[in-house]
A and B are shown apart, each in its own frame.
Chain A
Amino acid sequence: MFSLELAVAKWRDDLAKEGSLSRKDLDELEDHLRFSYEAYIAGGLQPALAFESARDDIGTPAELFAEFSKMDDPLWRRLMTAGWSAFLVSFFLPVHKYGISLFKTDIFSGDVPGFEAFVYSVTGESGLIGTLSALTNLLLIGTMWKIADYGRTGIFTWTGIIMAAMLLNLWWVTEGIADLRPGYYLWCASFGTVASGLFLRARELAVAPATVPAG
């Protein structure tokens, strides 16, 4: 026995699994689906067939995902923008309690801002881990260079690289969590956020068809 409510609920679940449609997008599409279903019923179709026809008219989850991604600001892009913003802001926030203020900028009452910690680390003053950690900044900056246009494999690879960079940067927690400041956590989080955006972009490329029939 066909149940419209069950069929609609399953259809919504399938769409939600794609991950790019908001609850309000789903509400709007559901209203459309029900209109279309009622029109098919009025045209004399049996309920199950009417639902299938209405569902097919709207399109598969992958097709909807591709269309919405073209016009809407996708989650992956918002995540990457948020990650890059957090990364830049972290350079101007205190990251560590102690350090050598190369620029004599005692703006945080002794706490070292991110840009000074970067210069200090990149010169090798804080050892190999410090230098590598400083170089991970270049990797993150590299993701700003049209990386979202790379192929699926390339973006998955970059996702792994940025995640590895974040894990390396978390090493500083072992050095003394009490000495770390908010800028440090924001800096680490920016790597995770950008990696999440890259992952979603790669996933989008994995599910979206190359071309979508418009009619």
Chain B
Amino acid sequence: MVLSILARGETYGYEILRQVLVLSGGKLKWSEGMLYPVLHRLEREGLVRARWVTADSGRRRKYYRLTASGKRRLAQDRANWMTVHQALSKTWAIQNV
């Protein structure tokens, strides 16, 4: 999900959490303590790249964006997810008959 949000463009932690909340219709509320270690792991794995930006107010903010290998991983994860989704949909359709 983090990779999907970053596929929309460069952004930062607070905005990612906000988007998760909005996209899930308020049903998913991730904790901050959970998000940042995940972002750092993705950065270590080379799936995202981060850069610090200093705002006019002097506040430093860390922005994340997808790398080429991040985009490839996202495409792969999306294909896997769709396979599982289709399989489950068929299973549930059979159960409802």
Contacts and interface: CB of A to CB of B under 8 A. Distances in A.
Contacts of A66: 33
A71 B30 CA distance: 15
Contact of A215 (B13, B31, B36): B31
Contact of A64 (B29, B33, B61): B33
Given A27-B60, A72-B40, A35 B14 contact: yes
B94 interface: no
Interface residues of A, number: 25
Nearest to B14: A35
Nearest to B55: A31
Contacts of A68: 33, 36-37
Nearest to A64: B33
Contact of A32 (B32, B34, B38): B32
A29 B32 contact: yes
Contact of B33 (A27, A31, A36, A212): A212
Interface stretch (A55-63, A77-85, A151-159, A170-178): A55-63
Contacts of A58: 31-33
13 contacts: A31-B60, A31-B62, A32-B36, A34-B59, A35-B14, A36-B14, A58-B32, A63-B33, A68-B33, A72-B40, A72-B41, A214-B30, A215-B31
A17 interface: no
Contacts of A25: 36, 40
Nearest to B36: A28
Interface of A: 24-25, 27-29, 31-32, 34-36, 57-59, 63-64, 66-68, 70-72, 212-215
B31 A213 contact: yes
Contacts of A71: 37-38, 40-41
Nearest to B60: A27
Given A31-B12, A34-B59, A214 B38 contact: no
A28 B13 contact: yes
B22 to A, nearest CB: 13
B14 A32 contact: yes
A67 B13 contact: no
Contacts of B40: 25, 71-72
Contacts of B32: 29, 32, 57-59
Given A59-B32, A71-B40, A72-B40, 16 more contacts: A29-B36, A31-B60, A32-B32, A58-B32, A59-B33, A63-B33, A66-B33, A67-B34, A68-B33, A68-B36, A70-B37, A71-B38, A72-B37, A212-B33, A214-B34, A215-B29
Contacts of A64: 33
